[in-house]
Amino acid sequence: MATLNSNIPAGPLASKWEKHKFSSKLINPANKRKYKVIVVGAGLAGASASATLAELGYEVHNFVFHDSPRRAHSVAAQGGINAAKNYQNDGDSVHRLFYDTIKGGDYRARESNVHRLAEVSVNIIDQCAAQGVPFAREYGGLLDNRSFGGAQVSRTFYARGQTGQQLLLGAYSALNKMIGAGAVKSHTHSEMLDLVVVDGHAKGIIVRNLQTGEIARHSADAVVLATGGYGNVYNLSTYARGSNVTASWRAYKRGATFANPCYTQIHPTCIPVSGDYQSKLTLMSESLRNDGRIWVPKRKEDCGKNPADIAEGDRDYYLERMYSAFGNLAPRDVASRAAKYVCDEGRGVGETGLGVYLDFAESIKRLGESKVRERYGNLFSMYHEITNEDAYKTPMRIYPAVHYTMGGLWVDYNLMSNIPGLFVLGEANFSDHGANRLGASALMQGLSDGYFVLPATISTYLATVKAGQRPATDKAEFKEAEDNVSGFIKRVTSGNGKRSPDSFLKELGKVMWDHCGMARTADGLQKGIQLIGSLREEYRTNLKVLGDIDGWNQSIEKAGRVADFIELGELMCRDALMREESCGGHFREEYQYTAADPEVQQGIVNAGDVKRRDDQFAFVAAWEYAGAADKAPILNKEDLKYEEVKMSTRSYK
């Protein structure tokens, strides 16, 4: 069994972080430069951490598989970033942001981490504004805000529909400054393929240069993974095609525990699937739900009609009906499930019947088309490019799609995994969003971890390591890890199979969506595990990877990533099967409220809403690798102890 010590500081919730920072060990400036830190990834978390650690004086090496540290998928976040600034004077506070996030996560996040996130949120906005991020402004020159799901205040800062891009370019600019100053060494086109653990501590990585095919060893005093989420296990998702689980998965196979892998976010507003050739689903920002109204026809017979011909009285604005307090701004898991229900009833629209309308007619009437264009113009044109439809004239059609993963490598309060010296930031860790993430909170968490949390906590570990004592790369552990990587590449390129890595991912994605998607059952999950088992076996024997080992070869890159996705998919199903409750995005059909429940009769929740079982499942499930892919992983538990908030039934009515 792994040792999981969350290292949550003692004392009242609101003062834990301040107290912890004060009691953390410091390293004097002259010694900092003797410590080398590897950061893998340069999205919001990786770029901000690299830049900040370098400012503090550490020797930082940053690795990305992209050609440039500006391309990570943080760049695609559209809507905004939350912060408890209360610039709108609408009753926001650190405590309210904390509470909304805990409740939004369906009481499955770690309380202390979430409070820290809310505290730090205000610093993030200051930092980004100072970097020149062109946030939206009011005419007086002050910052503008909008609303996002799961909140009744306007606390979301934004830069048109490109907030993630602008925040990433901000973090990238901070990184550029430090690369230019020689304080960060940037390794681009460099994919991490293994973690090197020496005497139980993370001390380096093995990297493949995608341009030359060269495999290299890098040692360090600490390794930081900021490598994003794993939603591409479903093949079709809003993730970038290159997003993958490989760095996290290789760390898992070296002993890092993987927490809550089944917690997946299915985003309610994406452009529906149109054909089996499709490679990617496109998100339409949640911010659209500020001004768009979601509906389907009341009667099945109307579904094929032109929406303009369906009278107001024949429309079912189902979110407004079911969740009147939050309406169209119900949280993502709730809104997605509601869309699934109305489509399952046969009231979905569009060719496949898997779609609902997102209608702007009323806002255009109220605000004028030019105001709507100013707020969402780029999203409307993106919708037009993909569907060839004009959403100013006819409602958008949307459907839920995989968008984010709340699960990830287990970390303690210092963001360190159970392998000492291995830190995990951003979407790659598990700690802040519980079983459902609220909109505009991913950007907040990535930057919080990178700019403010890790730079303050990493010294606690480094102070225990003697400066200048990191192992040389000729140590046996480095050789073993390198052989592991080159052995895999030799094996897959010399195979005599027939199928491409892409075709396997497509098949895996379908199994995952059908059996571990928006609604899960024990039978379905068992079936999923069985199907993935045979897929894993076929992958071993029937994979074909073309091209040379030396030099650019995208098939080799995919071969490794798909192998990891297959193993991860199985773990996700196992986790979902073990968790015999419903919470947030994890919906087990066996555990839902019905008309017979008092909570439904009292109007707190609707029939069909998720039903938690706090008495048995108020824990983080941290899975430990058992040494082989076909051996059942070991379950470790971290109990979730809430000091401030009472776990209660989540109501948005």
Partner 1 sequence: MKVTLKVWRQKNATSAGEFKTYSSPELNENMSFLEMLDVINEDLAIKGEEPIAFDHDCREGICGTCSLVIDGKPHGPHKGVATCQTYMRSFKNGDEIVIEPWRAKAFPIIKDLVCDRKAFDRIQHAGGFISVRTGAAPDANSIPVPKEDADLAMDAAQCIGCGACVAACKNASAMLFVAAKVSHLGLMPQGQPERYKRVKAMVDQMDAEGFGSCTITGSCEAVCPKEISLDFIARMNRDYAVALFKGEPKKTAGGGAG
- Does residue 126 touch partner 1 according to CB under 8 A? yes
- Closest Cα partner for 104 from 400, 332, 283? 332
* Nearest CB to partner 1, comparing residues 138 and 214: 138
The catalytic position among 332, 347, 574, 612 is: 332
Question: What distance in Å separates the CA atoms of residue 261 and residue 569, rounded to the nearest whole number?
Answer: 9
| Residue 637 and residue 622 in contact, taking contact as beta carbons nearer than 8 Å | yes
* Nearest CB to partner 1, comparing residues 242 and 353: 242
The encoded tokens of residue 83 equal: 């912060």
List beta partners, residue 267: 401
- Does residue 279 touch partner 1 according to CB under 8 A? yes
Q: Which of 91, 141, 603, 627 binds partner 1 (CB under 8 A)?
A: 141
* Residue reference for tokens 């054909």: 275
Among 308-316, 338-346, 384-392, 532-540, the segment contacting partner 1 (CB under 8 A): 384-392
Q: Which string of b and e fits 520-553 if b means at least 16 CB within 10 Å? A: beeebbeebbebbeebbeebeeebbbeeebeeeb
* Residue reference for tokens 């199903």: 573
* Nearest CB to partner 1, comparing residues 179 and 226: 179
List beta partners, residue 404: 265
Q: Which of 275, 313, 598, 627 binds partner 1 (CB under 8 A)?
A: 275
Helix, strand counts (H, E) of the chain: 19, 19
* Nearest CB to partner 1, comparing residues 502 and 614: 502
Binding mask 14-53 for partner 1 (x = CB under 8 A): ----------------------------------x--xx-
Residues 582-611 that bind partner 1 (CB under 8 A): none
Label each residue of 406-445 as H, E or C.
CCEECCCCCCECCCCCEEECHHHECCCCCCCCCCCCHHHH
* Nearest CB to partner 1, comparing residues 500 and 521: 500
Among 170-178, 295-303, 310-318, 590-598, the segment contacting partner 1 (CB under 8 A): 170-178
* Nearest CB to partner 1, comparing residues 129 and 198: 129
Residue 206 DSSP SS3: strand
In the complex, the smallest distance separating the C-beta of residue 536 from partner 1, rounded to whole angstroms, is 20
* Nearest CB to partner 1, comparing residues 9 and 242: 242
* Cβ atoms within 10 Å of 27's Cβ, excluding its own: 20
- Does residue 503 touch partner 1 according to CB under 8 A? yes
List beta partners, residue 295: 357
Question: What distance in Å separates the CA atoms of residue 225 and residue 416, rounded to the nearest whole number?
Answer: 10
In the complex, the smallest distance separating the C-beta of residue 582 from partner 1, rounded to whole angstroms, is 31
In the complex, the smallest distance separating the C-beta of residue 137 from partner 1, rounded to whole angstroms, is 4
In the complex, the smallest distance separating the C-beta of residue 578 from partner 1, rounded to whole angstroms, is 34
* Nearest CB to partner 1, comparing residues 131 and 152: 131
* Nearest CB to partner 1, comparing residues 106 and 286: 286
Render 560-581 in DSSP notation, one character per residue.
Answer: HHHHHHHHHHHHHHHHHHH--S
- Does residue 174 touch partner 1 according to CB under 8 A? yes
- Does residue 143 touch partner 1 according to CB under 8 A? yes
Q: Which of 388, 494, 496, 534 binds partner 1 (CB under 8 A)?
A: 388
Among 145-153, 195-203, 269-277, 530-538, the segment contacting partner 1 (CB under 8 A): 269-277
- Does residue 172 touch partner 1 according to CB under 8 A? yes
Residues 341-360 that bind partner 1 (CB under 8 A): none
Q: Which of 90, 138, 362, 369 binds partner 1 (CB under 8 A)?
A: 138
* Nearest CB to partner 1, comparing residues 171 and 435: 171
| Residue 97 and residue 459 in contact, taking contact as beta carbons nearer than 8 Å | no
Active site residue 332: yes
Residue 214 DSSP SS3: coil
- Does residue 165 touch partner 1 according to CB under 8 A? yes
The rounded radius of gyration (Å) of the Cα atoms in the chain is: 24
Question: What distance in Å separates the CA atoms of residue 330 and residue 351, rounded to the nearest whole number?
Answer: 26
Among 138-146, 306-314, 463-471, 515-523, the segment contacting partner 1 (CB under 8 A): 138-146
In the complex, the smallest distance separating the C-beta of residue 314 from partner 1, rounded to whole angstroms, is 29
- Does residue 386 touch partner 1 according to CB under 8 A? yes
End-to-end CA distance of the chain: 42
Residues 410-469 that bind partner 1 (CB under 8 A): 451-452, 455
Question: What distance in Å separates the CA atoms of residue 544 and residue 557, rounded to the nearest whole number?
Answer: 13
Residues 54-113 that bind partner 1 (CB under 8 A): 55, 66-73, 75-76, 85, 87
- Does residue 530 touch partner 1 according to CB under 8 A? no
In the complex, the smallest distance separating the C-beta of residue 349 from partner 1, rounded to whole angstroms, is 17
In the complex, the smallest distance separating the C-beta of residue 421 from partner 1, rounded to whole angstroms, is 22
Q: Which of 9, 242, 327, 533 binds partner 1 (CB under 8 A)?
A: 242
- Does residue 551 touch partner 1 according to CB under 8 A? yes
List beta partners, residue 283: 270
Residues 6+ apart with CB under 8 A from 633: 571, 574, 623, 624, 625, 626
* Angle in degrees, CA 556, 558, 564, rounded to 5: 110
Length of the chain as a residue count? 653
- Does residue 328 touch partner 1 according to CB under 8 A? no
* Cβ atoms within 10 Å of 487's Cβ, excluding its own: 10
Q: Total binding residues for partner 1 by CB under 8 A?
A: 82
In the complex, the smallest distance separating the C-beta of residue 136 from partner 1, rounded to whole angstroms, is 7
- Does residue 185 touch partner 1 according to CB under 8 A? no
Kindly give the residue spans of alpha helices, DSSP state H, lying in 285-354. 318-322, 332-344
228 HSE (CA, 13 A, CB side): 28
**The amino acid at 195:** L
Question: What distance in Å separates the CA atoms of residue 57 and residue 61, rounded to the nearest whole number?
Answer: 12
Catalytic residues: 332
